[in-house]
């Protein structure tokens, strides 16, 4: 393989290796362009270490206008058939998450939130449902992120 072709293959594979695995679960007209959790790793599940903090960063293009934005987080532990709410210290996605509000349709939005992964949390696999809600509590974006607590 030529050096140029090897470089192109590497450039095509590296972004996939660095991105986290997530599934859109009902983003309303929004286009999610980037989702990162630091630290996380690059496997099929994001590895979160109990007793540490993790930061979620989402970049998306808004599909609608909204005067405000609120974050909502739920977790579903393996074997449990429903999502359990997770309290954020401040769920205001504008002031605590760094979004630009009011949200303008087609604007690029950046949301960032740090959360403490408490030692009291059990070492389990879970599915995290992270939503950014508009002023009417409808999903602007909705992401399902598989995680492993260690």
Confidence of residue 15 (pLDDT cuts 50, 70, 90): very low
Tell me the CATH number at 121: 2.60.40.770
Q: Which residues contact 103 (CB under 8 A, 6 or more apart)?
A: 62, 64, 65, 66, 67, 69, 109, 134, 140
Tell me the residue range of the domain where 131 lies. Answer: 3-149
- Alpha carbons 142 and 150: distance in angstroms, whole number: 25
Say whether pLDDT at 7 is over 60.
no
- Alpha carbons 6 and 8: distance in angstroms, whole number: 5
Confidence of residue 78 (pLDDT cuts 50, 70, 90): confident
Residue with the larger pLDDT of the pair 18 and 130: 130
Say if pTM beats, i.e. exceeds, 0.85. Answer: no
Report percent pLDDT > 70 for the chain. 87
Reduced to 3 states, what is the DSSP secondary structure of residue 135? coil
Say whether pLDDT at 100 is over 90.
yes
Report percent pLDDT > 90 for the chain. 67
Give φ, ψ of 58 to 5 degrees: -125, 130
Say whether pLDDT at 14 is over 70.
no
Q: What is the pLDDT of residue 1?
A: 44
Residue with the larger pLDDT of the pair 137 and 3: 137
Q: Which residues contact 76 (CB under 8 A, 6 or more apart)?
A: 82, 83, 84, 126, 127, 129
Residue with the larger pLDDT of the pair 14 and 28: 28
Q: What is the pLDDT of residues 102-120, one digit of tens each?
A: 999 999 999 999 989 999 9
Count of structural domains, the chain: 1
Q: What is the pLDDT of residues 125-147, one digit of tens each?
A: 999 999 999 999 999 999 999 99
Say whether pLDDT at 10 is over 60.
no
């Amino acid at each position: 393989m030529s050096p140029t072709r090897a470089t192109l293959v590497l450039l095509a594979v590296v972004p996939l290796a660095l991105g986290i695995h997530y599934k859109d679960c009902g983003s309303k007209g929004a286009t999610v362009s980037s989702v990162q959790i630091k630290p996380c790793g690059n496997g099929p599940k994001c590895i979160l270490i109990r007793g540490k903090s993790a930061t979620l960063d989402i970049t998306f293009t808004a599909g609608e206008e909204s005067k405000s934005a609120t974050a909502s987080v739920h977790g579903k532990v393996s074997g449990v058939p429903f999502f359990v709410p997770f309290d954020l210290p401040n769920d205001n996605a504008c002031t605590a998450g760094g979004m630009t509000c009011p949200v303008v349709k087609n604007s690029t939005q950046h949301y960032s939130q740090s959360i403490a992964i408490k030692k009291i949390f059990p070492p389990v696999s879970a599915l995290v449902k992270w939503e950014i809600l508009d002023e009417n509590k409808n999903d602007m974006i909705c992401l399902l992120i598989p995680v492993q607590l260690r």
